Structure 1
Amino acid sequence: MATITTEQATISRWDDVQHSLSGGGDGRSCQCIWPVVRNKDWQTTTVEQRRDMLHDEIAVGPPPGLVAYVDGEAAGWIRIGPRTTQLRILHTKSITEATAEPLDDDTVWSVTCFVVRRDHRGKGLNATLLKQAIDYARAGGARIIEAYPVDNSHGSHRSNDMFHGALSTFLAADFEQGPAISGGRVLVTRPLSA
């Protein structure tokens, strides 16, 4: 049985962040910058610029996510942080129309990305990352967490679209299902108690 642990994505773990993002899917090219820039800015950046942007974000802190380890090897990543720092969300009409939370509220945190290396898929890493992200958000002062997962209860979905996470993972972690948004996704929320 594999041992799964998580750690905050600090600059001392930069190599582990990169290892987590490089094991399949779009993580290596995206560098998990897609959620934090508007589309017009995304279109004009290179992979190297995105890597530098993520490096700088992590260096300045606070950590914008967590890294999962399987038996000590970096194997997965989740982005979680204040929704106000994730500009794409604030400029996505289907999300802004669906949310009941004020867009300028720093106590609303969002989960916007999962990456799991191909060789570690099917081990429950997304569920572990989400559980730890809930604790991280609570400790960071979050009042509520929003996410925008793919409703995987019907139809087929491209694996590269699953970086949003699966609805079933969030429902299993006591998130409440809200309205549908674009791309077969739904808004989910989980209020946090102190």
Structure 2
Amino acid sequence: MTADVETRPVGPAELTVLADLFRSSRNTRHCWCQAFCTSRTRWALGWFGGGNRRQFEAVAAADPQPMGVLATVDGEPVGWAACGPRSRYPVATDPANSLTAVMERSEDDRVWLAPCLFVRPDHRGTGITYALVRAAVALAADHHAVAIEGWPVAGSDPPPGEEFVGREKVFADLGFRPLDRPTPNRVIMRRELAGRQPDGHVGTVS
């Protein structure tokens, strides 16, 4: 684990710092974590010309809950985890999405989702992803979520283009348990939130 990694929630005031991080990769520079937040057509149209960034900024300005968590090392942005109520992510709530069919729709406002993780290439393999997922769990608990979910890649070798959802081992190491394996490469995982301990850490899985 990187000794001096720090994490903090991302709201409107942090968007300039987040933009600095996203510029480090072609994908994040154009996507702005909108793949889960809008239709495929609108996401594709927003890929160039800044449409996805504008949509992200509009949601950040309108939603009182943070858009996710940012990781920094020595003040430099190095990682990002999108997270928020499941209802924020139309892809997760779409009944036609076979990946998320196991999710109970009545929980969409009370269960959080961490659908996307990004670590700057020069800081990968240093524990940043663990720090981000821990911070997402803590943020969900702070906002009274009853659980938090992810849909990482099963195993340790993600197919090209799917690295951004995380790896099963990271979620399992942090107390998430599998709900379903909708495809050979994907697992739906969940961690129940049983309250906060006095030291501020999230309590054990119930």
User: TM > 0.5 between the two?
Assistant: yes
Question: How much does 1:60 deviate?
Answer: 2.5
Q: Which runs of 5+ in 2 are unaligned?
A: 196-206
Distance 2:69 2:47 in 1: 24
Alignment match, 1:90: 93
Distance 2:179 2:26 in 1: 28
Question: How much does 1:182 deviate?
Answer: 3.8
Question: How much does 1:125 deviate?
Answer: 0.7
Question: How much does 1:57 deviate?
Answer: 1.8
2:102 is aligned with 1:107: no
- Cα distance change, pair 20–182 in 1 and its aligned pair in 2 (3 A): farther
Distance 1:188 1:178 in 2: 5
Distance 1:81 1:149 in 2: 16
2:43 is aligned with 1:39: no
Question: How much does 1:110 deviate?
Answer: 0.5
Map 1:42-121 to 2 at 5 A. 42-47=43-48, 48-61=50-63, 62-91=65-94, 93-99=97-103, 101-103=104-106, 105-121=108-124
- SS of aligned partner of 1:179: strand
- SS of aligned partner of 2:20: helix
Code of the residue aligned with 1:52 in structure 2: it is: R
Q: Which runs of 5+ in 1 are unaligned?
A: none
Sequence identity percentage: 27
Instruction: Report which structure shows greater RCO (CA 8 Å, sep ≥6).
Output: 1
How many pairs does the alignment contain?
Answer: 191
Distance 1:103 1:39 in 2: 24
Question: How much does 1:161 deviate?
Answer: 1.2
Code of the residue aligned with 2:140 in structure 1: it is: A
2:178 is aligned with 1:177: yes
- Cα distance change, pair 89–166 in 1 and its aligned pair in 2 (3 A): same
Alignment match, 2:24: 23
Question: How much does 1:2 deviate?
Answer: 4.4
2:123 is aligned with 1:152: no
Residue 109 of structure 1 contacts residue 144 of structure 1 at CA under 8 Å; is this kept in 2?
yes
Distance 1:145 1:68 in 2: 19
Alignment match, 1:139: 142
Distance 1:105 1:63 in 2: 16
Q: Say what the alpha-carbon RMSD is for the aligned residues.
A: 1.8
TM-score by length of 2: 0.85
Larger proportion of helix: 1
Residue 158 of structure 2 contacts residue 167 of structure 2 at CA under 8 Å; is this kept in 1?
no
